[in-house]
Structure 1
Amino acid sequence: MDVPLPFVMEPATRAATSPRTNESRLVAAAVAGQVSHPIVYASPYRVGRDGVLRLLPGSGGIVLNRRVGDPAVGLAADHMEAGVSLHNNGREVVGPRDGPNRALMFYACVGNRARVTSGPAEGAQGTVVGKHGGINHVIVDFPPHVKRRMRIGDRVQLEGYGQGLELPDFPGVRVQNLSPRLLRRWGVRTVRGRLLIPVTHTVPAELMGSGMGRSEGVLGDLDIQLSDEGLVRRFRLGSLRLGDLVAVCPLDYRYGPSRRPGTITVGVVVHSDSKVAGHGPGMTPLLIAPAACVRLVCQPQANLALVLGLRRLMGAPARGARAYRF
């Protein structure tokens, strides 16, 4: 690893300013999807990397008792999307048949606002918290009382706003899937020509698994394998939470994920762990930057639940950790 991960973390500094953006040039577009039904494939069993067969709930639907801020590791689930999973089931007569869902996946940015447009919870507001490739879902967080009123098939409309976002003072930094709203509240700052980016964890690139081989970085996520117990302990990955903002080093996700010395990708944890070989908690990329222009700020509070004010208290902390109030 060309980036010295244990030493790149540093305390936050006050002598910093918010980075300039091109937000005034962005275009907002409404996109929509339906609350998806969970899917079970030909066999309900999931074969773990340890050879054990497991029967576990997976992706899709409305997860009623978990949300961002809760642990991503150790749940009795596999690739659980902690929120409301959206998929646009429309079919186009021009372009690819799944074009409407691909547009939903592309336009949606983490931090975008969402609104229920049908069903008993019509009018309720939520927030986009991730994108899950493969199954091709956009994940939206709603308060628990709203989720209990929602139904499979309800329509949800998003304000797709953020693709095309740039940082003019940092032309080497690529912004993807990141809403201006999240960027403002995240606490990203500039000081002496560098970006200070708050994260909860750093992740060595050799742990990245499912999602490698994609040729883009805007339609999904990349899994963090937790099969190496030594690295999991060293980088505290057993304490990952849904919504954590994490840095993967060295990883370049501009044109699809690839290991590239001197490059850091910062993203958000969007789904739970998996025991299947090559899989684990998923990360949707947000910022890709040369390591030379970045300093990672160690902040356990760098989680969407707190950054966006979605919760006042995060879920039960991992052993030895603290709960953080907003």
Structure 2
Amino acid sequence: MVASNKKSIIEFAVQGEIVPAIPLRNYWVTWDGKPKMAIGVGGINYNLKIGEKVFGWANGDRAEPGVSTDGTGKDAWILGYRLYSCIGNEARVLSGEGKGEKGIVIGKHGLRAFQQRGAHHVQLHFEEEVLDVLAIGDKIQVKACGVGLHIMGYEDVRLLSLSPNLLDKMGVYEEDEKLVVPVVKEIPNFLISQGAGERPSEQGNWSIQTCFPPDIKKYGLNELRFGDILLLKDVQSDYGRGQYKNGVTIGVVCCGPSDIAGKGIGATNILSTRSGRIKGTIDSEANIANYLGL
């Protein structure tokens, strides 16, 4: 386990609410010219869970596992909920039949396709019996903890939307003055599409395009599960997302594939470097569900 400044990280409350399932459009036109009514974004997804395979869901398009939430009220309040919530943070239901029940943050997913302000969902996992009593509009409070987290001796590595709790369980270690991170797959740069230019990096995600079927099998994208940890090559997410030779971003799979040209599997960035001081080691069990006991 690497040493971090976790004892100096402030933990504080941010509040949002469960958002409804949202039609991205009436119909999308897929990369090969077919109409598709896409589902899976927003709402309470009962059988789309962390640890499940990302492919194979009928009409799913960038489908989000678990419960989708967002901030409410003033723009600054909304932004605070999106930026400060970190993967691994505890979430608690404040209203409705599920009041008092606890869950955990499992990802962040951003879209701009249908609303003026876009949608940048903070995704939560709850146990199955809790899902049955949740409702759209239920208030959620997250114990935000992770902003300012860094690994000692690696000031050139940015940690983003990552709780100290999850970092400690990921099995990250040092080798030859680099951080070694267990990952399920390493993703070549040419597959990484949507996400460049977006900032700040603490909200939204990178996309791994899934509109060329031969690449899906060749690079093992069909084997991915929600919550898998990936290494994205030649991109950086330090203070905004962009292409960067020898840059490395570590991401968590937060949404499923897409049939829309240039779009695909989402990865919430949690570590980033422009210096190349991160490398991966392949581990098929590198999934946050395993680390967080979900």
- TM-score by length of structure 2 reads 0.93
Q: Which residue of 1 aligns with 2:45?
A: 63
Q: Which residue of 2 aligns with 1:242?
A: 226
Q: CA deviation at 1:58?
A: 2.9
SS of equivalent to 1:262: strand
What is the rounded CA distance, in whole Å, between the counterparts of 1:299 and 1:108 in structure 2?
A: 27
Cα-Cα RMSD: 1.5
Q: Which residue of 2 aligns with 1:78?
A: 61
Question: 2:15–2:81: 8 Å Cα contact kept in structure 1?
Answer: yes
Q: CA deviation at 1:255?
A: 2.3
What is the rounded CA distance, in whole Å, between the counterparts of 1:46 and 1:207 in structure 2?
A: 21
Q: Which residue of 1 aligns with 2:290?
A: 306
Q: CA deviation at 1:290?
A: 4.9
Q: Work out which of the residue numbers 27, 30, 35 in structure 2 matches 1:48.
A: 30
Structure 1 residues 51 and 176: alpha-carbon distance in aligned structure 2, compared to 1, 3 A threshold: same
What is the rounded CA distance, in whole Å, between the counterparts of 2:278 and 2:41 in structure 1?
A: 34
Structure with max Cα Rg: 1
State the AA in 1 paired with 2:7: S
State the AA in 1 paired with 2:288: L
Q: CA deviation at 1:188?
A: 0.9
Question: 2:238–2:273: 8 Å Cα contact kept in structure 1?
Answer: no
State the AA in 2 paired with 1:19: V
What is the rounded CA distance, in whole Å, between the counterparts of 1:222 and 1:186 in structure 2?
A: 20
Question: 2:229–2:253: 8 Å Cα contact kept in structure 1?
Answer: yes
Question: 2:156–2:275: 8 Å Cα contact kept in structure 1?
Answer: no
Q: CA deviation at 1:103?
A: 0.6
Q: Work out which of the residue numbers 98, 109, 122 in structure 2 matches 1:132.
A: 109
- TM-score by length of structure 1 reads 0.84
Q: Which residue of 2 aligns with 1:142?
A: 126
Describe the superposition over 1:127-179 as per-residue Cα deviations: whole angstroms up to 9, x where unpaired.
10111112111000111111111111111110110011111211211111110
State the AA in 1 paired with 2:14: V
Q: CA deviation at 1:292?
A: 4.4
Pair 1:20-2:3 in alignment: yes
Structure 2: gaps (5+ residues): 112-118
Q: Which residue of 1 aligns with 2:115?
A: none
SS of equivalent to 2:46: coil
SS of equivalent to 1:214: coil
Pair 1:190-2:174 in alignment: yes
Describe the superposition over 1:180-216 as per-residue Cα deviations: whole angstroms up to 9, x where unpaired.
0100111111234221201001111221222222132
What is the rounded CA distance, in whole Å, between the counterparts of 1:209 and 1:290 in structure 2?
A: 18
Aligned residues: 286
What is the rounded CA distance, in whole Å, between the counterparts of 2:203 and 2:277 in structure 1?
A: 26
Pair 1:105-2:82 in alignment: yes
Question: 1:74–1:273: 8 Å Cα contact kept in structure 2?
Answer: no
Describe the superposition over 1:46-71 as per-residue Cα deviations: whole angstroms up to 9, x where unpaired.
21111110123231110011110011
Q: Which residue of 2 aligns with 1:15?
A: none
SS of equivalent to 1:78: coil
Pair 1:296-2:280 in alignment: yes
Question: 2:184–2:284: 8 Å Cα contact kept in structure 1?
Answer: yes
SS of equivalent to 2:245: coil
Which has the larger displacement, 206-215 or 156-165? 206-215
Describe the superposition over 1:66-125 as per-residue Cα deviations: whole angstroms up to 9, x where unpaired.
11001112312112111111112213xxxxxx2211110000001111111111111111
* Structural mapping, 1:203-282, within 5 Å: 203-282=187-266
SS of equivalent to 1:261: strand
SS of equivalent to 1:133: strand
SS of equivalent to 2:222: helix
Question: 1:301–1:307: 8 Å Cα contact kept in structure 2?
Answer: no
What is the rounded CA distance, in whole Å, between the counterparts of 1:292 and 1:215 in structure 2?
A: 21
Q: CA deviation at 1:264?
A: 0.9
State the AA in 2 paired with 1:109: C
Describe the superposition over 1:221-247 as per-residue Cα deviations: whole angstroms up to 9, x where unpaired.
111101233433332111111101000
Describe the superposition over 1:287-325 as per-residue Cα deviations: whole angstroms up to 9, x where unpaired.
113564333111111111111110xxxxxxxxxxxxxxx
Q: CA deviation at 1:257?
A: 1.8
